[in-house]
Amino acid sequence: MPRNLPAHHRRGDGLARAGRAVRLVLLSALALLFLLPFYLLVRNGLSSEADITSPEWTFFPGELHWGNIRELFEDPDVPMAHALLNSSLIAVLTTLGTLLLASLAGYGLARIPYRHANLVFYWILGTLMVPAAVTFVPSFVLVSSLGWISTLRGLVVPTLFQAVAAFIFRQYFLGFPRELEDAARVDGLGYWRTYWRVVVPNSRPVFAAVGTIVFIGAWNSFLWPLVIGQDREAWTVQVALSTFTTAQSVNIHELFVAAAVSIVPLLVVFLVLQRYIVAGVERSGIDD
Amino acid sequence: MRGAAPHQKSPTRRSRFGRQNRTLWFWVFVGPFVLGLTLFTYVPLAWSAYLSFFDAHNTVSPTEFVGFDNYTAMLRDDAFTDSLLTFLVFTAFIVPATYVLSLSLALMVNRLRWAQAFFRSVFFLPVACSYVVAALIWKMSIFNGVRFGLANTVLGWFGADQIAWLSTTDPPWYWLVIVTVRLWLQAGFYMVLFLAGLQRIPPRLYEAAAVDGARPGWQVFRHITFPQLRATSVAVVLLLVINAFQAFDEFYNLLSDSRGYPPYARPPLVYLYYTALGQGQNLGLGSAGAVILALIIAVVTVAQARWFGLGRKED
């Protein structure tokens, strides 16, 4: 604190303390509001149907029905286990594929001199202006003419080329210390081996940051799996949940327990890797 | 400090990384990505531009050329122009609401002396939730139109009547449901961006302001914090508008049911989904719609970037 504060700063001390208290109360109220939907998810998931639809709304259900989880996985009309498997496969493959392709591209753009590198870079950036969601009709047309509807290929391959990820890697590699690469070159390593032996092992945080963001996006994505994964066999968790919600074909408690189960993998990823996710968000929001 | 300039040519390097070789390696690294991007973004766009000039019902290799008919049909279609209007209304709600909420959260969390990590995590947690799950909670629990819905229960405590939140068009209560879902899901994401921006502001600016007698609070925010956050604000608004344009998940999951989609609150992608992939499978018409949307969003992005002076070298 500077020593000679103007008078109103000293007078403001009590005011500042009151301000802090108000801020804390406000934040706590908002925090409760932000947590409420998660609470409702668990509350309804572990309630009996009668508890949920009771006209007298209660904050706590009468008793917790853990059996709802077993009921969900034993219900032959609800292919939840299969949908979880599909979502896991898709999310893992999408994450690994995106990391590989985008990091290689980012490194090449940042480090390998090539006369038309700028042109290639703008070609990639151009797709940022036309978001994937807007082109889902044309992409659907392409994927269906390849015969990839309702296949793992169709669900994963077209989503692997994310310009944002390549852009983040390029920016990161531009700032990568050249000394490390130069040392590798003196040892006689070419671009390829320098990349795998020196650059990748020293860049784990950025891979973790991009990887978690891509994983969350892949697990939660909806429009593309809805369009491509048409057969029940190809449903992801999101498509299955959406089908049951919109068709209202499943009991409310089962729907909620399914939704609660569907966010468990993400909550685990989230709590374990939060600092990487935050780093990923910060990188993905930087526009220039 | 490095000893050698980055592109200095030592004898060993020239032999190992000659120009020919470098070009080859460039394409080894960048080629697969560019190839996939071209195949799965540019080719579909070009193909759909082609399809949009044909009568393409249920087919991707049409024969009947119809010129600009699909475009004029789309632009004369009230449902399509209504969907653009829906996007405008939605954007007018969601962009300022998210901006104000996420900035306020960031300002409050940033000044906390303890429990900062806790509050940041709580507000950020919804980012892990999908639009499908959030829409499910909103539709079936919070804004359920029946008596056991949470919002209606709260209204009941004050003796107010129940509201069928999603099917009432006058007043359009469904906007409250739609906007709050997205607000909850994305406020934490943008809060993190603002927090990063706040931490980049040099503390000496605040010290100088205190010496100059600026009152902490509004004055400091108005003259220091807000102008210093300009780059972050520009990025946030740009992302918010692009994301609003792509809105599909929560609209679809909140409003569609086994009978289809109601005639209101239908954003562009939802309309396209039903046109191109619904019963008619009119891919020519759908492609024309996709091309129009792609053009609109490209123009909006470029105009916004120009307007905010992005793209100029800043450092």
For the whole model, what pTM was predicted?
0.87
- Separation CA B99–CA B95 (nearest Å): 6
Q: Looking at beta carbons, which residues of chain A come within 8 Å of B248? A: 133, 222-223
The DSSP line for chain B is --SS-TT---HHHHHHT-HHHHHHHHHHHHHHHHHHHIIIIIHHHHHHHHHTTB--BS-SS---B-TTHHHHHHHH-HHHHHHHHHHHHHHHHHHHHHHHHHHHHHHHHHT-SSSHHHHHHHHHGGGGS-HHHHHHHIIIIIS-SSTTSHHHHHHHHTTPPP--TTT-BTTBTHHHHHHHHHHHHHHHHHHHHHHHHHHTS-HHHHHHHHHTTPPTTHHHIIIIIHHHTHHHHHHHHHHHHHHHHT--HHHHHHH-BTTB--SSS--HHHHHHHHHHSSS-BHHHHHHHHHHHHHHHHHHHHHHHHHTTTTS---
Q: Is the CB of residue B248 less than 8 Å away from at least one CB of chain A? A: yes
Residue A120 is predicted with a pLDDT of 93
CB proximity A120 to B under 8 Å: yes
Quote the pLDDT of residue B262. 86
Confidence at residue A123, expressed as pLDDT on a 0 to 100 scale: 92
Does some domain include residue B11? no
Domain range for B123:
71-307
In a domain, A49, yes or no: no
Measured in residues, chain B has a length of 315
Whether B173 contacts B200, CB under 8 Å? no
Low-confidence ranges of chain B (pLDDT < 70): 1-20, 60, 280, 309-315
What per-residue confidence (pLDDT) applies to A12?
Answer: 59
Q: Using CA atoms, how far apart are residues B194 and B134, in angstroms rounded to an integer?
A: 24
**Which residue among A34, A161, A256 sits closest to B40, beta carbon to beta carbon?**
A161
pLDDT at B259: 80
Look at chain A and report how many structural domains it folds into: 2
For residue A180, the tally of other CB atoms under 10 A from its CB is: 13
Q: In terms of CA atoms, which chain B residue is nearest residue A262?
A: B133
Tokens representing B160 are 């107010």
Radius of gyration of chain B (CA): 26
pLDDT digits (tens, 9 = 90+) for A176-194: 888 888 888 888 888 999 9
Distance from CA of B198 to the nearest CA of A (A): 12
| Residue B230 lies inside a defined structural domain of this protein | yes
Strand partners, B260: B257
State the pLDDT at residue A7. 46
**Domain count along chain B:** 1
Same domain, residue pair A191 and A89: yes
Q: Is B5 on the interface with A (CB under 8 A)?
A: no
| Min distance A105 CA to chain B CA atoms (Å) | 4
Q: Which residue has the tokens 């396209």?
A: B272
In a domain, B233, yes or no: yes
Same domain membership, residue A145 and residue A8: no
Interchain CB contact of B166 with A (< 8 Å): no
Closest CA to B111 of A22, A36, A14, A284: A22
State ipTM: 0.87
Nearest residue on chain A to B27, alpha-carbon basis: A108
Q: Which A residues in the span 177-206 are in contact with B, Cβ-Cβ below 8 Å?
A: 178-179, 182, 185-186, 188, 190-192, 195
Indicate whether B38 belongs to any domain. no
DSSP designation for A271: H
Minimal Cβ distance to A137: which of B17, B188, B276: B276
Task: Give the distance from residue B221's alpha carbon to the nearest chain A alpha carbon, in angstroms.
Answer: 15
Of B13, B40, B256, the CB nearest to A185: B13
Closest residue on chain B to A287 (Cα): B235
* CA closest to A154 among chain B residues: B40
Within a domain: B99: yes
In angstroms, the CA A277 to CA B193 distance is 12
- What's the rounded Cα separation, in Å, for the pair A243 and A254? 13
In a domain, residue A201? The reply is: yes
Contact B246 A134 (CB under 8 A): yes
Query: What type of residue sits at position A211?
Result: G
Q: Check residue B156 and give its pLDDT.
A: 84
* Tokens 């010129």 found at: B67
A218 touches chain B (CB under 8 A): no
- B172, β-bridge pairs: B169
CB–CB of A157 and B40 under 8 A?
yes
Q: Which of A96, A167, A155, A94 is nearest to A128 (CA)?
A: A167
Residues A94, A214: one domain? yes
Kindly identify which residue of chain B lies nearest to residue A116, measuring between CA atoms.
B23
User: Can you give the pLDDT at residue A286?
Assistant: 53
Q: Are residues A249 and A171 in the same domain?
A: yes
Cβ separation of B30 and A142 shorter than 8 Å?
no
Residues A25 and A149 in one domain: no
Residues of chain B contacting A182 with CB distance shorter than 8 Å: 4
CB contact under 8 A, A242 and B311: no
CB contact under 8 A, A114 and B23: yes
B2 and A178 in contact by Cβ < 8 A? yes
- Residue A6 shares a structural domain with residue A119: no
Beta-bridge partners for B65: B54
Q: What is the pLDDT of residue A103?
A: 96
| Count of A-B CB contacts under 8 Å | 308
Query: Could you give the CA distance from residue A12 to residue A15 in angstroms, rounded to a whole number?
Result: 5
CA distance B187 to B125: 10
What is the arithmetic mean of pLDDT over A158-176?
Answer: 91
> Which pLDDT belongs to residue A59?
77
Domain harbouring A130, CATH code: 1.10.3720.10
Asked if residue A248 and residue A125 are part of one domain, the reply reads yes
* pLDDT of A8 above 50: no
Q: Looking at chain A, which residue has its C-alpha nearest residue B18?
A: A113
A137–B287 CB contact, under 8 Å: yes
Positive or negative torsion for Cα A226, A229, A235, A238: negative
Examine the domain organization and report whether A21 and A88 are in the same domain. Answer: no
Please give the Cα distance from A238 to A83 (Å, whole number): 8
Under an 8 A CB cutoff, do B283 and A137 touch?
yes
Model pLDDT for residues A219-257, shown as the tens digit of each residue: 999 999 999 988 888 899 999 999 888 877 778 888 999
Tell me what percent of chain A is helix, strand and coil, each rounded to the nearest 5. Answer: 75, 0, 25
Domain with residue B298: its CATH number is: 1.10.3720.10
Provide the chain B residues 89-108 that lie in CB contact (below 8 A) with chain A.
105, 108
Q: Does A109 touch chain B (CB under 8 A)?
A: yes
Write down the pLDDT at residue B4: 42
Confidence of residue A2 (pLDDT cuts 50, 70, 90): very low
B41 min Cα distance to partner chain A (Å): 7
For residues A136 and A213, membership in a common domain is answered with yes
Query: Which residues does chain A have within 8 Å of residue B272's beta carbon, measured at their own beta carbons?
Result: 136-137
Say yes or no for a CB contact (<8 Å) between A31 and B36.
no
User: CA dist B178 to A78, A110, A119, B163, Å?
Assistant: 27, 42, 41, 15
Looking at the structure, tell me whether residues A191 and A280 fall in a common domain.
Answer: yes
Q: Which domain holds residue A240?
A: 76-284
**B133, B216, B283 member nearest A141 (Cβ):** B283
| 71-100 in chain A: CB under 8 A from chain B | none
Indicate the residue of B41, B44, B148 with minimum beta-carbon distance to A54: B148
Terminal Cα-to-Cα distance of chain B (whole angstroms): 20
Reported confidence tier of residue A169, pLDDT bands at 50, 70, 90: very high
pLDDT for res A135: 79
Is B183 within a domain? yes
B191 touches chain A (CB under 8 A): no
Residue B18 lies in a domain: no
Assess whether A115 and A28 both reside in one domain: no
Q: How far apart are CA A100 and CA A94, in angstroms?
A: 10
Q: Do A175 and A203 form a contact (C-beta atoms < 8 A)?
A: no
Cα A11 to Cα B171: distance, rounded to the nearest angstrom: 48
